[in-house]
Amino acid sequence: MDFVEARNLPGHVGIIMDGNGRWAQLRGEPRVAGHREGALAVRRTVRAARRLGLRALTLYAFSEQNWARPEEEVDALMQLLREFLLSEKDEILDNGIRLNAVGNLGRLPALVRAVLDPLRHESEQNHQMTLTLALSYGGREEIVNAARELAKAVAAGRIRPEDVTSDALRAQIPSLSVGDPDLVIRTGGERRISNFLLYGLAYAELYFADVLWPDFAERDLFAAIASFQARERRFGLVGSPSGDPCASDAAAAPTDSAPANGSAPLTRIAI
């Protein structure tokens, strides 16, 4: 039996939710059926992450490139997003979850923004966990936007060229407001990151699962976290003599990506 240690959790987990379409095709159903089942997997995952005590969870829900999909599929996805936000509103608020969103949100239809924006505002003082939805999102686009803002600041004389540092760029990247991702999970059997959290991904641990997203369950999240906890994160430094992953993390981890429960006593949760 595998275990998850409650004291060595990743602080920020990102998930590339892949496989909805293939899940539906395997069952002879339309792609929208896979997206609907995928929404149920989102609910399960958010609940499991909150119970486990994760500080931040970022879900890749819709990319900038996804707008090129057939119009009927995009419309169905936007309607499902609206339904999800409406159905999960009470659970988000009652459990102290702060809802965040990153990406080119101006492209989202009014029917989504009418629900998304008020819920973000209503939950902004919650602190139990930050749930970020990456919507109309692209990692390259996010970096370009950040660089453009710094270029404007230099051109206007507000900062000097030498003030354009990695920290200055980071400050302009919305997806990193909760810190770098410690662990990025991709479902669906693919082995790529598909333009997700590119700047923050520099030292993230990657976990690829063969399970299609609609079938992703609590045990799959726990398996990914157990894999994370078995690794020694060195951040370019020399590993600890003992090979203890916890010892390496304590010495090397940047402060903005430190595990949320780093000081908790050792507790093992069975998968």
Say which of 18, 182, 220, 249 is annotated catalytic: 18
The confidence score (pLDDT) of residue 268 equals 55
The confidence score (pLDDT) of residue 5 equals 78
3-state secondary structure of 39: helix
Query: In the chain, pLDDT over 70 holds for what percent of residues?
Result: 86
* Residue among 265, 260, 262 at smallest CA distance from 245: 262
* Bridge partners (DSSP) listed for residue 208: 186
Whether the CB-CB separation of 67 and 21 falls below 8 Å is answered with no
Mean pLDDT of the chain: 90
Q: How many residues does the chain have?
A: 271
Rounded to whole angstroms, how far apart are CA atoms 75 and 71? 6
Q: What is the torsional sign of CA 222, 217, 253, 193?
A: positive
Query: In the chain, pLDDT over 90 holds for what percent of residues?
Result: 82
3-state secondary structure of 269: strand
Q: What angle do CA 81, 82, 86 make, to 5 degrees?
A: 115
The confidence score (pLDDT) of residue 136 equals 98
Check pLDDT > 50 for residue 161: yes
User: Any catalytic annotation for residue 20?
Assistant: no
Question: pLDDT of 172-187, one tens digit each?
Answer: 999 999 999 999 999 9
Rounded to whole angstroms, how far apart are CA atoms 184 and 203? 10
Question: pLDDT of 112-135, one tens digit each?
Answer: 999 999 999 999 999 999 999 999
Question: pLDDT of 33-80, one tens digit each?
Answer: 999 999 999 999 999 999 999 999 999 999 999 999 999 999 999 999
Rounded to whole angstroms, how far apart are CA atoms 206 and 171? 24
User: Any catalytic annotation for residue 66?
Assistant: yes
Give me the half-sphere count of Cα atoms (radius 13 Å) on the Cβ side of residue 96: 10
Say which of 2, 8, 20, 66 is annotated catalytic: 66
Give me the half-sphere count of Cα atoms (radius 13 Å) on the Cβ side of residue 238: 3
> Is 0.85 surpassed by the pTM of this model?
yes
Rounded to whole angstroms, how far apart are CA atoms 175 and 167? 14
